[in-house]
Chain A
């Protein structure tokens, strides 16, 4: 019997990732634009990245130094992209 405590959350996360992906795609197909829409879509992407890091990569179970690189990368990339989109207006 596979570890259900490990698989169940990952299965839920999988469907959540699919939901956020389809939402992002839908926004894209509607041709919606603007800073607020872009930041909303970026927010979805950062949440998806954190979920992959926490649950698929297993970093949620890690403490200390290795808990944070993926999160810090997402914050850094998210901040830079946000700033670049803000100055583009």
Chain B
């Protein structure tokens, strides 16, 4: 049944019609396979962090206290707000409002920049203290996990920028806006992953 639906999806000229009929997720289906792959990788990372911590509880608890939770709060608020702005962008284009969609996406991108700046300041602080991947097991996980996510934020922003520029040039409409929903789905995945990363690395002890 699932295979038949996949064939229907790929052979149909108007994918949105099929999506409404069969309740496919928003955006291009390919991005959802990509999202599942990304979630799998982050899931393995999170499990590896938690099980490694189980054998090094004192070390993890000690060095976790050195992290800046206020910066993590700002970054979490920035990503949630950015995701909400992307929701507004999708709503705007569904209403055939290309200009509104463009402006909401710009606002989302601005919050993405906030995230990158704050995270960059955190990295600068750690590196100025001589902390790196080989300092200890906790910092190895902290730096690799957060930098892996950091790169996903950058990729998400590139996607959102491309979508925003196309929206500005009138490339989307209420009838055809698969690209906006595709970019939005990826960005929400970046937000979703951070929702687990923030408490796991910064708070749980």
Within 8 A of A (CB), among B29-88: 32, 36, 39-40, 43, 46-47, 50-51, 53-55, 57, 61, 65, 69-70, 72-73, 76-77, 80-81, 83-84, 86-88
A62, A70, A73: the one within 8 Å of B23 (CB):
A62
In the complex, the answer to whether A81 meets B200 with C-beta atoms within 8 Å is: yes
The chain A residue with its CB closest to the CB of B47 is A80
Chain A binding surface, main DSSP class: helix
B residues in contact with A1, CB < 8 Å = 95
The chain B residue with its CB closest to the CB of A82 is B50
Known: A6-B91, A49-B192. A59 touches B25 (CB 8 A): yes
**How many interface residues does chain A have, given as a range?**
35 or more
In the complex, the answer to whether B188 meets A52 with C-beta atoms within 8 Å is: yes
A11, A56, A66, A85: the one within 8 Å of B32 (CB):
A66
A29, A45, A46, A85: the one within 8 Å of B54 (CB):
A85
B residues in contact with A56, CB < 8 Å = 83-84, 86-87, 188, 191
The chain B residue with its CB closest to the CB of A57 is B188
Distance to closest chain B CB from A55 (angstroms)? 8
Distance to closest chain B CB from A39 (angstroms)? 9
In the complex, the answer to whether B50 meets A84 with C-beta atoms within 8 Å is: yes
B23, B47, B84: the one within 8 Å of A77 (CB):
B47
A2–B112 Cα distance when bound, in Å, is 24
A residues in contact with B81, CB < 8 Å = 14
The chain A residue with its CB closest to the CB of B73 is A25
A28–B161 Cα distance when bound, in Å, is 34
Contact with B along A56-80 (1 / 0, CB 8 A): 1111011111110110010011001
In the complex, the answer to whether A81 meets B77 with C-beta atoms within 8 Å is: no
The chain A residue with its CB closest to the CB of B197 is A45
In the complex, the answer to whether B25 meets A57 with C-beta atoms within 8 Å is: yes
Distance to closest chain A CB from B179 (angstroms)? 15
A31–B83 Cα distance when bound, in Å, is 29
Distance to closest chain A CB from B97 (angstroms)? 7
In the complex, the answer to whether B195 meets A49 with C-beta atoms within 8 Å is: yes
The chain A residue with its CB closest to the CB of B81 is A14
Contact with B along A35-59 (1 / 0, CB 8 A): 0011001101110110011011111
The 5 residue pairs across chains A and B that have the minimum distance between CB atoms = A84-B50, A28-B203, A88-B54, A38-B204, A25-B73
List 10 A–B pairs whose Cβ atoms lie within 8 Å, in order of A's numbering: A17-B80, A21-B77, A45-B195, A56-B188, A66-B23, A66-B24, A69-B32, A81-B47, A81-B50, A84-B53
